[in-house]
Each structure stands twice: as structure tokens, then as C-alpha cells.
Amino acid sequence: MKNKNLKNAAFFTFFFLILILASACKEEPSTRYFKAMDTFMILKAYGNKAETALAISENEIKKLEETISVTLDGSDIYEINNSPEKEIFVQKDTLEILNFAKSIFEETDGSLNPALYPVVHEWGFTSGEYKIPSQEKINSLLKNTDFLKIQIDEKACSVKIPDGMKIDLGALGKGFAGDKAAEILRKKGIKSALLDLGGNIQAVGSKPDGSEWKVGVRNPEGGDACARICVKDCAVITSGGYERFFVGEDGKTYIHIFDPKTGRPVENDFESVTIISKSGLYADSLSTALFVAGLEKATEFWRKKQNFDFIIITKGKKIFCTAGIKEKTDFSQEFEVSFVEK
């Protein structure tokens, strides 16, 4: 009898151990869904400190939005735009993003230009009231878009813009927000998290089982992803013409990514540009800048820098990507893939 009880006890102990082990293996992530920076964000993280760390990250993203929003009265960017020729004291984050934007502006021959805001606004992309402005209007607005005329005083942490200029960090702010959120999670000891900031992906570490995150690149025509890339500890950020566009009275499609040289929406055969890099700020800046630059200049820029990877999808179901990602990417059979070599 005693022996049978012992056997039962051993069986139940073993059974519970298996249950505990199984639930540990299938650990569920903590998740936060919220709206910020004009988009939906989903932050997922694993580990017992995930809940608190995610709450702090969400808070930080919302705080950053209040600092760099172009529309929010009282934000740094709002103050700068509404007080031209006046020295405006700003947060360190604002200064860091503006400095970074200036360096990318210079390196990409002005393809990324935050001072293009009045032009983008005139076409209706900030209000949804789309229109094709007259060439005269475009030309007059383009006169105030020399971003190098912005004065950044690092010591004083202040910024001054010339009269007529207005800036917007919409092309790179979300990338910076992803960096900040990821940094908080890492500092809080999180080893595994995946942050989706409106399609901008930021991976912290790898999956809880140690394998890499698989991030899909959207098929411009819908349906299954056209590529799935395995990554850890990096940002995967896409600029897509399909994200926002309108069809004009002339029947042509006008997308939300602008060529700063012409003051008009980019007209090339790109559907999207995805950048994979350690820094979200860099990836976000380049996804926009290289969309403007086109395939030849994007390739030239990559050969010079070699500190990021790209996946460019063009019309006619073609994919051009850097050779380094060949081994870690699955491509949809529907697309013709070409690899760009060093």
C-alpha cells in the first residue's frame, strides 16, 4: 500500500514537472498596443520584467512624439517652425535627430530633406486634401528648402531656422523612437522583444528559443510577404509608395515620398525600399533617402558605406537586394530576385 502511494506521488511529481517545463517553453510575451506618431504600434517582449519595461518604452515613445511632432503646439519642432530666425532651446533628442538628418542630407545629395515640409503640405499629404499645386507655387516653396541653412548649436542645445523654412521629422522620427524603445528594453534586461512601430520593425535580441526573428517584407500587391528575413538585434524599416498616395485628375498616381529637387512625388519604378541596419534612425532615414535616389545611386551609396542592407522592390515584381542577406532571406517565387554585389 505504502509502495503504491509512493509510486503515485512520484508519478504526479513527474507529471507536474512536465507541465511546468512545457509552460516555461511556451512562454507568452507581454504585449502593448497603442497609437502614437500617427500610427499603430505593437510592442512584444519576453521575460518577467517585460511588463514594466514595455510600459516605460511606450511612455518614452509618447514623450518623444510630444517633443518632435510637427502639429502639436508646444513641441520643439512646432516652436522652431513658428519662430523663424529665433534661437529655440530644444531637447537633446531633437538635436540628435536634426544633426543626424543634416548628415544624411549631405551624404545623399539632399535626398532626405526635412525642410521639404511646406511642399509636402501644399500637395495635401499632411491634411488628406490632396491637390496638384501649380509649378509656380512649387518653385516658390522650393526656395526655402535648403536644409543646410538650419543653425544647430550643440553646446547651447538650440536650433534656428531662416524665415520661410519649416521642418518635419516624419521621415526618420519613428526610426529614432524604435531605437529609444529598444535601448530601454535592453537596459531593463530584456533579451527578447519585437517592436512594430507602424510597420517599422525593431528586434531586440532573438526569439526566446535563441533562433532569429523572421520579419516579412510586405508584398506591394497584398497577399503573402515577398521576402522573409531572419534578423536579431536590428531594425528592418520600409518606405513604400503604396503607404500613402492619391490619384490626380490627370489619372496619375502621386505618392507621399518626394524628390526634394523637383518638389514633386518621386516617379520611379520603386514600390518599396527596406533597410536593415543596427540603427533604426539610420534605417528610417535611408529608406526614404534611397527611395528618392533610385537604384543606381542607392547601390553606389551602399557600396561606399556597407553598414546596412537593402531590399528594393520595383514594379514588374522584381527584387534587388544586397548580397549579404542571401543566406538569411526566403523570397517569394513570384518575384525575380537580383543580388547586388560589393
Cα–Cα nearest to 172, from 116, 245, 118? 116
Q: By CB under 5 A, tell whether 277 contacts Mg ion.
A: no
Scan residues 215-274 and list those touching Mg ion (CB under 5 A): 239
CA separation for the pair 104, 118 (Å, rounded) = 20
Q: What is the nearest approach in angstroms of ligand AMP to the Cβ of residue 134?
A: 20
Q: What is the nearest approach in angstroms of ligand AMP to the Cβ of residue 279?
A: 14
In the bound state with ligand AMP, the residue whose beta carbon lies nearer, of 200 and 299, is 200
**Residue 71: what are its φ and ψ, rounded to 5°?**
-100, -20
In the bound state with Mg ion, the residue whose beta carbon lies nearer, of 239 and 272, is 239
Interaction partner, residue 257 (ligand AMP, Mg ion, none; CB < 5-8 Å by kind): ligand AMP
In the bound state with ligand AMP, the residue whose beta carbon lies nearer, of 50 and 295, is 295
Q: What is the nearest approach in angstroms of ligand AMP to the Cβ of residue 265?
A: 8
Cα–Cα nearest to 166, from 128, 199, 120, 205? 120
Q: By CB under 5 A, tell whether 284 contacts Mg ion.
A: yes
Site track for Mg ion across 91-120, x = CB under 5 A: ------------------------------
CA separation for the pair 157, 225 (Å, rounded) = 43
Would you say 310 and 304 are in contact if contact means Cβ atoms under 8 Å apart?
no
Q: By CB under 5 A, tell whether 171 contacts Mg ion.
A: yes
Q: What is the nearest approach in angstroms of ligand AMP to the Cβ of residue 69?
A: 12
* Residue nearest to ligand AMP according to CB distances in the complex: 239
Q: By CB under 5 A, tell whether 168 contacts Mg ion.
A: no
Q: Which residues contact 298 (CB under 8 A, 6 or more apart)?
A: 273, 290, 310, 312
In the bound state with Mg ion, the residue whose beta carbon lies nearer, of 53 and 321, is 321
Cell numbers 544647430 correspond to what residue?
152
Q: By CB under 5 A, tell whether 165 contacts Mg ion.
A: no
Interaction partner, residue 256 (ligand AMP, Mg ion, none; CB < 5-8 Å by kind): ligand AMP
Crossing angle of helices 173-187 and 280-293, rounded to 10° = 160
Indicate which single residue of 81, 144, 288, 314 sits in contact with Mg ion (rule: CB under 5 A).
288
Q: Retrieve residue 40's grid coordinates.
A: 499603430
CA atoms within 13 A on the CB side of 339: 9
In the bound state with ligand AMP, the residue whose beta carbon lies nearer, of 54 and 286, is 286
Q: Which residues contact 341 (CB under 8 A, 6 or more apart)?
A: 323
State the first-to-last Cα distance of the chain, in angstroms, to the nearest integer: 76
CA separation for the pair 207, 194 (Å, rounded) = 9
Q: By CB under 5 A, tell whether 287 contacts Mg ion.
A: yes
Q: What is the nearest approach in angstroms of Mg ion to the Cβ of residue 280?
A: 10
Interaction partner, residue 260 (ligand AMP, Mg ion, none; CB < 5-8 Å by kind): ligand AMP
Q: Retrieve residue 206's grid coordinates.
A: 532573438
In the bound state with Mg ion, the residue whose beta carbon lies nearer, of 88 and 171, is 171
Planar angle of CA 324, 231, 338, nearest 5 degrees: 35
CA separation for the pair 76, 93 (Å, rounded) = 10
Q: Give contact residues for ligand AMP (rule: CB under 6 A).
A: 112-114, 116, 120, 125, 168, 170-171, 239, 256-258, 260, 284, 287-288, 292
Interaction partner, residue 112 (ligand AMP, Mg ion, none; CB < 5-8 Å by kind): ligand AMP
Cell numbers 500587391 correspond to what residue?
221
Residue ranges in contact with Mg ion by CB under 5 A: 171, 239, 284, 287-288
